[in-house]
Homo-oligomer: A and B are copies of this chain.
């Protein structure tokens, strides 16, 4: 199993955590985002979209898109599970994961920030305001789900980590990275702390990957 990874990619962080929670140890092949290696011919032969992550698990092509990869891992390596029992519970967990991955994170990735600055003419401060607004709007939506539900436990759903926690943790890492205030989201912060206390999350942290700087 080969994971194409970069310390900075939060979508790849999500896959790293899922792999770690399932006790899987892929070979890690670093892709140099600073040098735009992900957009080059060689990497596009692996993932035509030219983005991270990609996971080769012998299926004849490299798997792509973090949540699709995590659903694959869940089906291929079911234990321990990253989805709760019960149809409604699974829908709630997937819904929280999608708020992060489909509503918030896409707005702040490098290719979007670059477009806003280079093509749309926003200055650095306006781009940062955009990023903060996107991150806080996304976390507000997650916090509303967490605060309003009897199913919220030590983690987003009950007392075991799920794909919702993986996505929430990636979101809070983004907020740390962009120095975006999250202090008014107590449920999210509490659950993020519970995640960070687990080895699988801690070992997957961006700053603990090859090529990472000492601090963000």
Contacts and interface: CB of A to CB of B under 8 A. Distances in A.
Interface of A: 44, 48-51, 59-61, 63-69, 71-72, 75-76, 87-88, 90-92, 94-95, 97-99, 101-107, 111-112, 115-116, 119-122, 126, 129-130, 133, 137, 141, 144-145, 148-149
Nearest to A101: B102
24 contacts: A44-B144, A48-B144, A48-B148, A49-B103, A49-B141, A60-B88, A61-B149, A64-B145, A65-B102, A66-B98, A67-B94, A69-B95, A71-B94, A72-B88, A72-B91, A72-B94, A76-B87, A101-B102, A102-B102, A103-B106, A106-B106, A106-B107, A115-B133, A119-B129
A122 B122 CA distance: 9
